[in-house]
Structures are given as C-alpha cells and as structure tokens.
Structure 1
Amino acid sequence: MRRTFLLALLLAGAATTAQAQDLLIRGGRIYTGNEAAPTAEVVLVRDGRIAWVGAERDQPDVPASVPTVDLEGAALFPGFTDGHAHLDGIGWREMTLNLEGSASIADAMARLTAWAEAHPEGPIVGRGWIETHWPEARFLTRQDLDAAAPGRVVLLGRADGHAVVASSPALAAAGITADTAAPAGGEILKDERGQPTGLLVDAAEQLVSGLLPQADPAALREAYRAGFRVEAQYGWTGLHFMSAPWRDVPLMEQMAEAGEAPIRVYNSITPDGAAELIAGGPRSVADGRIITRAIKYYADGALGSRGAALFEPYADRPDTTGLMQISEQEIVPLYQAALKGGIQVATHAIGDRGNASVMEWYQQALAGVAPEDRPNGADVRWRIEHAQIVRPQDYHWFVDLPIIASMQPSHAIGDLHFAPARLGDARLDGAYAWHSLADLGVIVVGGSDAPVERGAPLIEFYAAVARRDLQGFQGPDWRPHEAVDRETALKMFTLWPAYASFREDELGTIEVGKRADFTAFSVDLMTAPVADIPKGHAVLTVVDGVVVHRAQ
C-alpha cells in the first residue's frame, strides 16, 4: 500500500471506535453483495456510512480533505463477520500453551516440556491438540502429561473444547479417582484397569474447573485486547461471540466505550446471565459496537470426543450414542422465558439426535407463547449452532419454524478425517449440509468456532466452496455436492450474519446508507482458483469508516 493508503491510515489511526470517518476507497474490484449492482469501482464514506458506490466515471466530486485508500488491486467486500467464535478463547490462545498443529503426541509433549521449563510456577493450561493426524492415533493421557511435566498440575483442552486431559496431580487435586462418578452429560474415560486415563469429556470437564488459575482483571482485559487484535488482522469486522461469559459483558462494554473494541461484537451469553438479561432486555453500547441480546445453550457435545448425541451408536464405538447436556423439561421453560423477554436463543447441537431434540423443543416453546406475547412477534430468529449432523428428514424444521443454521465450514474439512469412522457412510447424508439447507432457503450463517479452528476467514470461505482440506484432500464420497457456490459463501459471511443479529438494514452489503464496514483481501475470492483462496490474507479492515487493520 502506497502514499494514499498510508495517508488514510494516519488520518484514521487516532480515531476511537465511536468516531466514524470519511473515506474514499478505489483501485480494486469491489464486490457489493447487492444483487442489483454486484460490482463497483469506488466507494465513498461520509460520517461512517456509505454515501455513494458505483463506477469511477460516475464518481461525485469529493473534497480534497477526504483521505483516499488505493486498494492497489486488492478485492474489497462487505465486512466479513465470524458468525460463531469465542473472543475470550481467541485471546487466551495468544497467552497460554497453544498445541494447535502438533504433529504427534511427542511433538505436543515437547511443547509442554518447554512451556513448563519457561513457566516453573503454577498450573499449566493449554488447548488445541487433536489426535486425528497423530501417528499414535489416540487421545492424550495423564501418563503423557506426567512424563512431560513431572509433578505439575496440567490441563490441556482438546481443540473442540469438549474434552480436557488432566495430569495425575490435577486429578488428585480435584479428587478424581476410579470411584468418581461422571456427572450427567459427561464421561470420565477409564483404562482397562478401571483407572481414569485423565481424559474428561463435556460435563466432566467441570470436575477440574476449580484448578484453573483465576485471571486478574488486567490479564482478562489483555486477553480481550489480544482477541480483538487477532480478529481485525484476519479481516473480520464483526464477531458473534458464542457463550460470552455474562460476567465479561460489562468489561467488553467498557472497552468499547474506551475505544478498545475495533470490531463489532454480538453477544450470545452463558446461561448464568439469562434471568438478568431477560429482565433487562437487549443491551447495546458505543453506537452498537457491543450488542448483547442472545443466550447460548448446549444440547449435546462434540463429534470428535464422541459427545455428540446420535440416534444410533457410534460406528467406531458401539457402546455409546453420545451425551445430551440438557433435558426437555429443563430447557423448554427457559426458551419460553427468552421468548417473553425478546431475547434470541442459540443452541449448540451437533449430533442428529441433538439437532432433532432442539428442533422439537423450539417447536414446543414457540407453540407455548403466542406471537402477541413476544416483543419480537414472530420474528425471533432462533439459531442452531453447528447443525453438523442432521437427518435429511429433519431439514423441514429449518424452514417451517424457521431456524437459522449457524455452521462452520472448517469443521467439515477437519472432520472429514474422522467423521466417516464415527458415523459410517449412511449418516454422512445430512452431515455439514450447507448446500442442501441453503437450497431450501435457510439462512446459513458461516463462522469459524475459533479457537476450536484457526479462525481465518479465507480458510472458512475456501472450506465452504471447496469442501476439501487445505492439502486438497476430500476423501471418498465426502458429499462434494454440499459445497456452495461463491455467491452463497459470500452471503454466509456477510449478509446472513447481519440478518442473524437483526442488523441486515445496516450491515452485510455495500449499499448507500449502510455502515461502512469493509474487508479487502489480497486474493479475489470470486475469481481466483479455489486452491489459491487460503493462500491470501487480509490487507484492509474497515469498521464505521475507520481503518482498524492494514497489511504490513
């Protein structure tokens, strides 16, 4: 980026999140997301909103004082929004032991040893390991951790966040023995002698939660700063924060008011804040920079750790059908309370039984509260988060109720290496079925689930249109027809997340009157060879006309 781009940065750099900007953007292909006028050459921003968009020859006069951004051939899009991510986890990933990309147990344990030597005091907390490609082809155990960090309390979360392996000192500190009963919705894995292996699945993770070091306020704020920084660098202009800790909402709001929230956050909070949020109603600060108006619940676990609830047993472990996390008797009244309070509901469901249960519970709740008794009337926009394994016979619920399908394309290109073994071939019909649902007119919101996945928008876009892993592998009959076209993928990360957060009138396309949120990538997502898409990077992130990231 040359002089005009640098000038824009100098003028915009001092702005806080509350200070909208004027800006002229040109010099590259602009994809508007507006079907009536899908491409443009110039965008003019006034006071943080789009004032004009069109061809260069028709450009209106612009005062010389308005800074100009020359895209220099980069492709500009409506601001990309991560429709499902965990902002706190993204930040903590930058500050704790990151096992992402470990090539083997030996590699992961070498990282643990190095971390333990560099941090000789206190518990060791980390995340990101996944056994899928490991030559050892097994989960981590307490013995692995004990050898790598002798005598230390170690808790290492699997990448999906639905299992944690604990060292022997950690198990002892938590009082977990061979006789410890797993809580409802959880599992304590045992070896052939009946002793805990150290792996705790889903609700059993709570047995060691008391061992986690409690972050001081300064560390927590720094974690959120790190999360904001990473997301802006990736090109995200917004993020739907799933399971946002209710206790952290005031902190995020304070950060936004202080100009420390460079991107938009739409909070779906943890259930412990449900009663208070319902009583107080939706919250919005800093001109909508942080909005809190949804509650996130869990129906089941994850496929990788065999916690996703299935109708039939797992193909590779016929003694289990997964783990439900909540019952109909518990959840339906909670859904109905949210309806009466005008609060959106989002429910995690991965397995076919988990998804079918949520659909039935949604129907019961909606039938039990008349539209005239809901602040939002019939327009509730309830969501299922993940919707990974759905029986085709259940697709109609997404249309009939309707339900937003909030899905993460990168899960499909990671899970393709183990999902066939977990499910068997027949259940792959309805697995990661973005195309089938979108074809029915369902709103399919694209997200990353970071830090479960890397969280890069170009990886997510690639996964949606390629349905192959990053090496180009797809495997036998991984339902290639479920890949989507590029126009649909663009909606999944722009217009449809805007709709899912009740902001389609302000966000999601480049049209006059909407907020000036833009993402520019070094690769043209709409024309480049598919294999080249994840090789690109974000060169520009703009929120309310403010440049919040530029490529170095």
Structure 2
Amino acid sequence: MATRDGVIAWLGDDASGRAAFPDASHVDLGGAFVAPAFVDAHVHATSAGVQLAGLDLSGCASVTDCLTALMDWVKAHPDMPVWGHGWDESRWPERRPPTRDELDAVAPGTPVYLSRVDVHSALVTTALVERAPQARRREGWSATQPLSRAAHHAVRGAAQEMISASQRAEAQLAFLRDAAAHGVACVHECAGPDISGREDLGALLALAEADDLPQVVGYWGELGGRLGPAHGLGGDLFVDGALGSRTAAVGLPYADQPDSCGALYLDRAAIAGHVTTCTQAGVQAGFHVIGDAGVAEVVAGFALAERAVGANALAAARHRLEHLEMVTAEQAAQLAEWGVVASVQPLFDAEWGGREGMYAQRLGPDRGSSLNPFATLEAAGMVLAFGSDTPVTAHDPWRAVQAAVHHKTPGQGVSPAAAFAAHTQGGWHAAGMTGGTLAVGAPATYAVWETGDLVDGLPRLDPGAELPTCLRTVHNGHTLHQRALE
C-alpha cells in the first residue's frame, strides 16, 4: 500500500509498488495484519479518562470490596475529592450497593462521587450532597441509596466542578491516547447538559484538532439545543434511563422491583418536535433509548415527524438512536425505512446478557435474554454502528466484534464481516461521513495488528481466542499510535 498526502495512492504487490514509487519511504510490517481503523460510535471521553487515573470499582466483588477500595483510595489521596466508577451490585452476593452511612464512615468529610457501571445512578457521600443541596428536592433522591434521575444529575454536576481544567485536559488526552492504542481513529463523543457540559465538549474538540490524536465527532444531547461546535443534536438525549439502575422505561414492571416501570423523560410529541426541527434544519438528531416503552415512544415520535417532513427527508437526515436494546422486528423495519442508524454496544450483551445476567435479574429470563437483537436490526436493514459507551464498557473493538458474533441469545449474532463493518464503516456512516475501507482514493486511515491465523480475511474470533494487538494506528496519514514491531 502506498499513501500520499494522507490518501491511499496505490494497492498491489510489493515489486510493482517499489517500481511505481521509487522515492517512497518504506515500512516493512513483518507480516502484520492491516485493516481499516476502528470507529467508536459512543464515548464519554472525560469520564473514561478520569477512570483511567481514578478509582476503578469494576473489579469489586462485594460491598466490602467497594468500601475497602474507597477507604484505601482516600488514605492514598488525602484531602482530595473522589471520582470513581464501575460498581455493579448485580454481580455481588449482597445484591445491594453500600449505603450513604457506610460511605461516610470510610470517607468522612470527603466529597465522593461513584457512578454505577451504567452511569445512570451514583453513590455519593454527604459531603458531596452538601455541594448540591438542590438534589434533595429532585426526583431520584434518596437519603440512603444511590441517586438517580434529576438528583443524580445535580450531584454529577457538583462532582464535575471538582475536576480542574488541567485535570480534565489530562483525562481527555489519556482517553484519546488509549483509544489510539486500541486501533481507534475516530470517536463519537456523546455530550449533553446533564452529562459533561459545553465547556467539556469544546475543550475535547479543540484538543482533538492535533494531528496525532483520534478524530472526535461531537454530539450535544439537548432538546431544541444550540448546535454550536457539535456535529449533531443527539447522542445521549435521554428518552429514558438504563436497565441496571431501573430507569429504562419498560412496558411491564421490573421483575426485581414490581412497583416500577422506570422513567420516561420524553414523550412522542417532544421527540417528533425535535426530529422535525432538526430535519428541516439539516441537522442530525438522535436519542438515547433502551426500554421497550421508550422505543415505542420513539417510533411513535418518528411517525409524527414523518407526517411533517416526509419519509425521504427523514431518511436523508440519517438520524440515530443510541443503545436501542429492547426493539421488535416490526419497529426495526419502521426505523430502517426512516434511515435511522442503530448505534449499539455489543459488550452490553457480553457483560449482562443471557438468561442469568443482569438483564435477566431486572426483567426475568425471557424478557432479559431478548435484548440487543443485532441480527434482527441487520435483517430489517438498519445500519449498525458499534461503540463502547465507555466508561460503561471498555473501548476494546476486537472484543466488541467478538461479542457481536457470539451473542448470548441464539440467532442474534452477526457474521464476523458484518460485525467488523459495523465497527468501521458503520461508525463513519453514523456521522454522515464515508470511511472504513482500504481502497485507492480513500483516506489513509488504518490500523496494523499482530495476530494469528486469519479466517476469511479476519482474525479468529472464537470464544477464548487471543485477540489482535495493535501495533500502529494511522488517521489520514498521521500516525496516532506506534509500538515496536517484533
């Protein structure tokens, strides 16, 4: 492969390439595997970067583990606020998170924010609540348990204020470097007023202008919001919450909380208004939606928008839905007709799918094992764009491709080629761009991998197989990551 000015200029055998480009510099990859670089279609850069250097609770196996990790962190970082992430009580024998009293006992007087793995609820200390007293008057408040909904947004805002500009820059840079080291050349940042703030998004977009960092496509999730530097008004514009925090809007009550059907933040009229306004303005819209009641409201909202702008205009706008976990074949077919992209996360199924995972705990085995139906979405004609939702799951693209192929629900896996395309071409398509191919005239955006045998042109993806190691990541001819070739 020969590249010139960030574009692929030639593909062919070595001898003819050397003859055609006698003055070119040569890089011998030693038999390594070259493929289009990955796109992560859903990230939260600052939160993920903070986790890289902050308190990581994803390995905790019990309430005691969580409290011990917090206590040790506070001892090692005295007089500093704590930002942590990743606890998941559904995996713990107690099936409960720590109480606020327990947190206060191991971190007395310390502002502590510990987001659940799905980032839709958080454990906090009294010292942090005192920085956001309005949380006590908002929906989702609890004096003892994790905070969710509007109360969570209030304390999250206070926690974000604890992060200095320099800490934020360090976190964002650490995240982008880590993404490049995993063969990712582009990420879609899903920002919003309840997630990170405009200043955070602006700083990230400015940072990513450097040639040696992955490209960032920014989305701003605010109903009727100002576009500003964002690419679209979507991403995490919440129609509902998350299943782990029992805030996803479901049609039947949660199996492990029969008095709740979650939370519906937007109705069909609001959804239709946003989609209509964005379509008419030529702006890409999108929503975060997970539960079946939320998906039904979204489909109804798009149907109302179609009456206002027409199906062709909707399809041309290439709107997108994030997560889309509880969706029927009929709904997928309707969404496909409107050109809606499914921005989905295969590692959700790997982490919480099946008849014994967290989804089954929340919804029961039958409902809980029917989520993230990738094959159904693909068969309906929806374009799939794979992402991680990091820090919810790791941005580990090959593991995500593997998870999509070996779905925990029989019949819902996709082929290796389709999964790889969803994590490359699908990500560019979701942003209204083209990319994800190695062809003459295409951008020189690729990754080089150390891997074993190839099967049908891709690394082995069998469960337990050793996945490829990234040796080099290149975006538009600029090297983002490089390690020594062995």
TM-score by length of 1: 0.79
The 8 Å contact of residues 141 and 166 in structure 1, kept in 2 or not, is answered as no
SS in structure 2 opposite 1:310?
coil
Identity %: 30
Counterpart of 1:276 (choices 220, 226, 243) is 226
Tell me the CA shift for residue 102 of structure 1: 1.8
Match of 1:219 in 2: 167
The 8 Å contact of residues 523 and 533 in structure 1, kept in 2 or not, is answered as no
Structure-to-structure mapping, 1:51-450, within 5 angstroms: 51-56=9-14, 58-59=16-17, 61-63=19-21, 65-175=23-133, 180-183=136-139, 187-189=140-142, 196-212=143-159, 213-243=161-191, 245-257=197-209, 259=210, 262-271=213-222, 275-277=225-227, 292-296=231-235, 297-370=237-310, 378-416=315-353, 417-428=357-368, 430-450=370-390
The 8 Å contact of residues 392 and 429 in structure 1, kept in 2 or not, is answered as no
Structure-to-structure mapping, 1:434-513, within 5 angstroms: 434-467=374-407, 478-504=408-434, 507-513=435-441
Aligned length: 471
The 8 Å contact of residues 428 and 479 in structure 1, kept in 2 or not, is answered as no
Distance (whole Å) between structure 2 residues aligned to residue 150 and residue 114 of structure 1: 13
Distance (whole Å) between structure 2 residues aligned to residue 366 and residue 429 of structure 1: 32
SS in structure 1 opposite 2:50?
helix
Distance (whole Å) between structure 2 residues aligned to residue 421 and residue 254 of structure 1: 42
Distance (whole Å) between structure 1 residues aligned to residue 345 and residue 466 of structure 2: 16
Residues 439 and 54 from structure 1, CA distance in 2 versus in 1: closer, same or farther, beyond 3 angstroms?
farther
Q: Any unmatched runs of 5+ in structure 2?
A: none
Match of 1:287 in 2: none
Distance (whole Å) between structure 2 residues aligned to residue 379 and residue 173 of structure 1: 45
SS in structure 2 opposite 1:346?
strand
Match of 2:8 in 1: 50
Counterpart of 1:521 (choices 449, 454, 458) is 449
Q: Any unmatched runs of 5+ in structure 1?
A: 1-42, 190-195, 284-290, 468-477
Distance (whole Å) between structure 2 residues aligned to residue 370 and residue 443 of structure 1: 20
Distance (whole Å) between structure 1 residues aligned to residue 381 and residue 365 of structure 2: 26
Distance (whole Å) between structure 2 residues aligned to residue 110 and residue 459 of structure 1: 30
Deviation digits for residues 200-227 of structure 1 (CA, Å, limit 9, x no counterpart):
1132202324532343332222222112
Residues 529 and 78 from structure 1, CA distance in 2 versus in 1: closer, same or farther, beyond 3 angstroms?
closer
Distance (whole Å) between structure 1 residues aligned to residue 186 and residue 287 of structure 2: 20
The 8 Å contact of residues 370 and 409 in structure 2, kept in 1 or not, is answered as no
SS in structure 2 opposite 1:482?
coil
Distance (whole Å) between structure 2 residues aligned to residue 534 and residue 182 of structure 1: 47
Deviation digits for residues 271-293 of structure 1 (CA, Å, limit 9, x no counterpart):
28x5432xx6xx5xxxxxxx723
Distance (whole Å) between structure 1 residues aligned to residue 64 and residue 20 of structure 2: 60
Distance (whole Å) between structure 1 residues aligned to residue 205 and residue 428 of structure 2: 20
Are 1:547 and 2:479 counterparts? yes
Residues 207 and 500 from structure 1, CA distance in 2 versus in 1: closer, same or farther, beyond 3 angstroms?
closer
Distance (whole Å) between structure 2 residues aligned to residue 211 and residue 131 of structure 1: 24
The 8 Å contact of residues 123 and 211 in structure 1, kept in 2 or not, is answered as no
Letter in 1 for 2:213: P
SS in structure 2 opposite 1:359?
helix
SS in structure 1 opposite 2:474?
strand
Distance (whole Å) between structure 2 residues aligned to residue 188 and residue 385 of structure 1: 26
TM-score by length of 2: 0.90
Residues 182 and 251 from structure 1, CA distance in 2 versus in 1: closer, same or farther, beyond 3 angstroms?
closer
Tell me the CA shift for residue 142 of structure 1: 1.0
The 8 Å contact of residues 389 and 430 in structure 1, kept in 2 or not, is answered as yes
Tell me the CA shift for residue 370 of structure 1: 4.9
Deviation digits for residues 48-86 of structure 1 (CA, Å, limit 9, x no counterpart):
001112344553625454332322232211111011111
Tell me the CA shift for residue 358 of structure 1: 1.1
